[in-house]
Structure formats: C-alpha cells, structure tokens
C-alpha cells in the first residue's frame, strides 16, 4: 500500500503512532507536504466523516481520528511554515461560539503563518465580543472564522453585525470557512470573503489585506 494510503487508513483507524510514522516516512521520501496533507491526512478525515454520518463509527472513534490527525499535522507544521516571510499583517482566527471543531481552523492558521501573516489564534468556542475586542486591540487587519456545524455557523453573522455596530467593518475585514458555509452564505451575512480550504483562505486574506 502506498504511504499516503497508509496515512489515511491509519488515521481512519485512529492509530496516531502509525500516522506519525508514515507521515515522517513520507517527509523523508520528499513527498510534497501538500500531498501528504490532502491525500493522506485530510483524505482519512473525510472517510471518518462519512462513516460517522452513516453511523458506522461513533464519537470516540472520531476523537481518536482527530488525535491521529494532529500527530501527523504537528510533524508537517514546521515544513508548511518554513517558507514563511516576515509578517505581512495580523489575522485573528478562531472557531465560532458553541463549536469545538478546530482541525480546519488550525490548518488555516498554519498556512497563514507560512504565508507570512502574524496569526493570533483564539481557539474554539469564541464569542463575538472576543473576536472583535481582540482584533481591535491587536490592530488586526482580518478576522477569520471557522464553523463546522450548521447550528453554529449563524454565529458568524453576529461577529459581522458587532463589527458594523462598532464602526469597525471598514478597518477589519472578515473571512469565513468550514464545511457547512459557502460563498453564498458569506455574501448573505456580509462577510468580506469565503475560503473553501486553507490554501484558498490564504489567497483571500492576501487579497483582503492588499485591498486596504
Ligand atoms: Co464533529 N461533526 N461533531 N467532531 N466532526 C462533523 C462536522 C459532522 C459533519 C459529522 C457528520 O455528521 N458527518 C457533523 C456536523 C453536522 C452538521 O452540523 N450538519 C458533526 C457533529 C454532529 C458533531 C457533534 C454534534 C457530535 C455529537 O456530539 N453528537 C459534536 C459537536 C461538538 C461541538 O463542536 N460543540 C462533534 C464533535 C466532534 C469531535 C470533538 C469528536 C471532533 C473534533 C475534534 C477537533 O476538531 N479537535 C469531530 C470531528 C473530527 C468531525 C469530522 C469527522 C471531521 C472534521 C475535520 O476536522 N475535518 C466532521 C465530518 C467532516 O467534516 N467530514 C464532523 C478535517 C478538516 C481539515 O476539515 O474542518 O472542514 P475542515 O476544514 C477545512 C475547510 O472546511 C476549510 O479549510 C480546512 C482545510 O481544507 N476551513 C476554512 C475550515 N475553517 C476555515 C476557515 C477559513 C477558511 C477555510 O477562514 C477563516
């Protein structure tokens, strides 16, 4: 079985030690980090999502898979960041209130750092006030919000409304992302941009910071 398949299958099985071992091997064999991420780690997590939805695996299995995902991501992180250039602007990121999913948000943070942004990561379950107050305090150019649940995605609108209420929407731009949100939803709630994945989030944030 090829290495990337080994990574995705072991991630699906929640075997963090094997995921780490094969991620290291893939790096040693000079497989491009983006391929290790997309075709190994993310591919494995996609399968986990499908099996969970079909009730073929359960929450503890998903938690183990998330742990395995982090064991691979931690190994890849320095490589993804390595080509970073000095900071080109500050971005405050976080997962929206009520939502504990942070794998995608962390990936976006890693890629933004790699692109030279200073990233202030507020973690998960972040309230609208916390997003806005921290961005203002840090003089951040962009707030990046992630949501993985259809029940929490509406919280993104609250952040944008709060920015408007405080007269900050010209100064601080917003980008949203995560599986249940879309370009259309971004338009609907007045977000400045939508990122389909971590790489497109970086392109969009670059564009937003150039626009200022
Ligand atoms: Co949860 N979960 N989960 N879960 N979980 C989903 C999201 C779900 C789709 C699974 C399913 O049913 N198929 C479903 C949501 C259904 C819905 O809302 N329609 C679900 C559910 C229901 C739940 C619970 C409610 C389960 C329960 O308790 N009964 C619960 C909620 C807890 C809470 O948040 N309050 C829950 C819990 C968990 C775990 C804690 C066990 C774990 C999270 C661990 C962690 O994050 N530390 C977990 C996981 C791992 C998943 C799945 C399997 C994988 C998510 C993931 O990490 N994907 C997920 C199914 C799935 O998505 N396939 C599922 C990999 C990651 C790299 O992708 O996060 O999409 P993603 O990020 C992408 C893009 O979306 C984008 O870039 C990333 C890289 O490409 N992106 C951005 C993300 N944020 C961005 C921000 C940007 C730009 C792009 O700009 C700022």
* Domain limits, the chain: 3-82, 90-211
Closest residue (by CA) to atom 49 of ligand 1?
62
Helix (H, G, I), strand (E, B) or coil at 12: helix
Query: Which of 157-161, 174-178, 185-189, 201-205 has the lowest average pLDDT?
Result: 201-205
Mean confidence (pLDDT) of the chain:
91
Q: Measuring CA to CA, which residue among 66, 76, 60, 55 is closest to residue 11?
A: 66
pLDDT of 212 above 60: no
Nearest CA to ligand 1 atom 61: 49
Q: How far is the CA of 140 from the centre of ligand 1 (A)?
A: 26
Nearest to 196 by CA among 207, 180, 208: 180
Determine whether domain 3-82 maps to CATH 1.10.1240.10.
Answer: yes
Mutate to test the pocket of ligand 1, among 36, 38, 49, 124 (most ligand atoms within 8 A of CB): 49
pLDDT at 134: 98
pLDDT at residue 148 tops 50: yes
Q: Which fold has domain 90-211?
A: Rossmann fold (3.40.50)
Is the pLDDT confidence value at 84 over 70?
no
Strands (E), 41-186: 90-95, 118-121, 142-146, 173-177
Q: 88-98, pLDDT tens digit by residue?
A: 689 999 999 99
Q: Which atom of ligand 1 is nearest to the CA of 100?
A: 34
Distance from the alpha carbon of residue 181 to the mean position of ligand 1, in angstroms:
12
Handedness of CA 53, 55, 57, 60 (dihedral sign): positive
């Amino acid at each position: 079985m090829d290495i990337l398949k080994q990574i995705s299958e072991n991630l699906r099985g929640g075997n963090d030690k094997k995921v780490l071992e094969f991620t290291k091997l893939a790096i040693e064999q000079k497989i491009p980090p983006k391929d290790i991420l997309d075709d190994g780690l993310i591919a494995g997590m996609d399968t986990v999502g499908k099996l969970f939805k079909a009730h073929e695996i359960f929450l503890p299995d998903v938690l183990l898979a998330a742990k395995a995902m982090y064991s691979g991501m931690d190994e890849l992180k320095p490589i993804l960041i390595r080509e970073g250039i000095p900071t080109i602007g500050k971005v405050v990121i976080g997962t929206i209130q009520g939502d504990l999913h942070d794998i995608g948000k962390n990936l976006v943070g890693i890629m933004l750092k790699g692109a030279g942004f200073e990233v202030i990561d507020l973690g998960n379950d972040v309230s609208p006030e916390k997003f806005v107050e921290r961005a203002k305090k840090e003089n951040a150019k962009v707030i990046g919000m992630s949501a993985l649940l259809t029940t929490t995605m509406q919280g993104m609108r609250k952040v944008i409304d709060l920015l408007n209420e405080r007269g900050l929407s010209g100064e601080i731009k917003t980008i949203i992302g995560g599986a249940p949100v879309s370009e259309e939803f971004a338009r609907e709630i007045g977000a400045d941009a939508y990122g389909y994945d971590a790489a497109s989030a970086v392109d969009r944030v670059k564009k937003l910071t150039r626009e200022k």
